[in-house]
């Protein structure tokens, strides 16, 4: 459904628009922007429940959601769309027929682990490499390779975003260097490393280009499908651009384009992404880098965050208690708020026990102590990234539910000693639209 459409004559004659679509964990969204970044229309769709042998048929569901989003784009705006890009969940993997593009196997979802393949992957990949995790794309590929007997010769690996984009441009076998990171692609050398190329399953790997690069024009059959009147449809010159992952698209949406700018996502967990001139990869802390043009997006995620707050307080309580906190006053309480035992970043300790006591009688003081302790963990995380060699953080933009809490923002500013503000845009679909804008041909 289109949630909003900017009808107030905000489009100048000759203006083109740029379409981004986000296929996240729980549904799909689109954003349609102009070259200034103004949103002209946006909408969202749940993934329809389509079953096959009593199991969710994700491939049919994603395809249906894609076409529903295209259907939701206001008819009068469709001719203005110059380019399209899509982001998908990281490490969601499809094995398809290299001739027809149809899946040969059910998709491996982003959070699915293939521990059966881990020993094989660890035996060929460098120690502590990003692929040495059961949920990596490479583990999923190896797991399929070991099960499947017959279809290996005509098989091809695609990520979720790659496959959805293929439905629009029709050129099989193209991926981007953000999605391809977890299958082993090396974005620094712009190639698959020799240890991967020498494996028999490397024949399935797609070619890789930069996110936002033009792949080809929107297929004629798609243009015809969404055209009711000859002039009111997507145009022949509409191009389809390489995509990215959902978390990178969300970072792009915040428009933090200078090294030293960071985005902290305060959702159920605390995730940090910092734009750096130096690449940092350290599996001990779950820290790895995605390439963004000539810079690196260094990221790590702590197990602390909003999920801990929800254990003790309702949303209404959080709001009312927060109003009573003096954010300029340091809390003497020293906690390590976790939902369960174990932490990875900024402390690599699978046995770290949550510390949420002593609990004062005052709920305001207790909440203040937890918020301040999470801010200290965030500060420790930025210090760790600096110690590992990343660019020093200079400014923090905030996404996620915690961004709305102004008292927490002020606590974090004091603890971090940095300017902290709420990111104006945090939707991944907006980031994907910025990629489409980047890939579109521009006059002059």
Contact 291/178 with Cβ under 8 angstroms?
A: yes
Q: Are strands 214-217 and 17-23 parallel, antiparallel or unpaired?
A: unpaired
Task: Please report where in the chains the tokens 């055209």 appear, as a residue.
Answer: 227
C-alpha–C-alpha distance, residues 146 and 421, integer Å: 49
C-alpha–C-alpha distance, residues 166 and 3, integer Å: 26
- pLDDT tens sequence across 131-164: 998 999 999 999 999 997 767 989 999 999 999 9
Cβ-based neighbour number of residue 419 at 10 Å: 10
Q: How far is CA 156 from CA 102, 149, 159, 198, 215, in A?
A: 10, 15, 10, 17, 18
Which of the 8 DSSP states describes residue 391?
A: P
Section 341-347 average pLDDT: 92
- pLDDT tens sequence across 43-92: 999 999 999 988 999 999 999 999 999 999 999 999 999 999 999 999 99
Q: Are strands 295-302 and 288-292 parallel, antiparallel or unpaired?
A: antiparallel
- pLDDT tens sequence across 257-295: 999 999 999 988 999 999 999 999 887 888 989 999 999
Question: What is the reported pLDDT for 348?
Answer: 85
- pLDDT tens sequence across 89-106: 999 999 999 999 999 999
Assigned token pair, 218: 């929107």
The residues near 141 (Cβ < 8 Å, ≥ 6 apart) are 93, 95, 117, 157, 183, 201, 204
Task: Please report where in the chains the tokens 């190896």 appear, as a residue.
Answer: 142
Question: What is the reported pLDDT for 106?
Answer: 95
């Amino acid at each position: 459904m289109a949630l909003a459409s900017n009808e107030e004559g905000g489009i100048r004659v000759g203006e083109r628009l740029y379409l981004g679509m986000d296929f996240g964990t729980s549904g799909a969204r689109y954003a349609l922007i102009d070259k200034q970044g103004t949103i002209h229309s946006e909408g969202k769709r749940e993934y329809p429940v389509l079953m096959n042998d009593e199991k969710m048929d994700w491939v049919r569901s994603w395809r249906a959601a894609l076409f529903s989003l295209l259907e939701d784009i206001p008819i009068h705006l469709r001719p203005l769309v110059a380019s399209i890009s899509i982001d998908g969940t990281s490490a969601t993997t499809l094995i398809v027929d290299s001739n027809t593009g149809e899946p040969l196997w059910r998709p491996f979802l982003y959070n699915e682990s293939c521990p059966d393949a881990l020993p094989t992957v660890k035996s060929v990949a460098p120690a502590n490499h990003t692929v040495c995790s059961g949920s990596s794309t490479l583990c999923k590929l190896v797991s399929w390779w070991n099960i499947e007997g017959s279809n290996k010769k005509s098989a091809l690996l695609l990520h979720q975003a790659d496959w959805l984009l293929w439905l629009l441009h029709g050129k099989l076998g193209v991926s981007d260097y953000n999605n391809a990171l977890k299958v082993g692609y090396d974005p620094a050398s712009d190639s698959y490393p020799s240890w991967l190329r020498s494996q028999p399953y490397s024949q399935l790997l797609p070619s890789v280009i930069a996110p936002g690069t033009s792949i080809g024009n929107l297929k004629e059959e798609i243009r015809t499908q969404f055209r009711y009147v000859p002039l009111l449809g997507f145009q022949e010159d509409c191009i389809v651009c390489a995509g990215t992952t959902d978390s990178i698209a969300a970072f792009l949406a915040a428009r933090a384009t200078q090294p030293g700018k960071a985005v902290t996502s305060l959702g159920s967990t605390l995730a940090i992404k910092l734009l750096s001139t130096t690449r940092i990869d350290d599996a001990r802390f779950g820290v790895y880098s995605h390439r963004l043009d000539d810079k690196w997006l260094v990221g790590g995620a702590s197990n602390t965050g909003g999920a801990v707050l929800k254990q003790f307080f309702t949303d209404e309580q959080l709001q009312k208690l927060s109003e009573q906190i003096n954010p300029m006053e340091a809390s003497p309480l020293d906690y390590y708020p976790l939902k369960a035992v174990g932490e990875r970043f900024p402390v690599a300790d699978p046995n770290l026990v949550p510390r949420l006591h002593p609990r004062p009688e005052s709920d305001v003081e207790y909440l203040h102590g937890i918020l301040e302790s999470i801010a200290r963990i965030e500060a420790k995380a930025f210090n760790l990234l600096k110690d590992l060699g990343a660019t020093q953080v200079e400014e923090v933009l905030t996404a996620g539910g915690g961004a709305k809490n102004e008292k927490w923002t002020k606590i974090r500013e004091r603890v971090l000693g940095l300017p902290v503000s709420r990111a104006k845009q945090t939707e991944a679909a907006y980031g994907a639209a910025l990629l489409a804008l980047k890939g579109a041909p521009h006059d002059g």
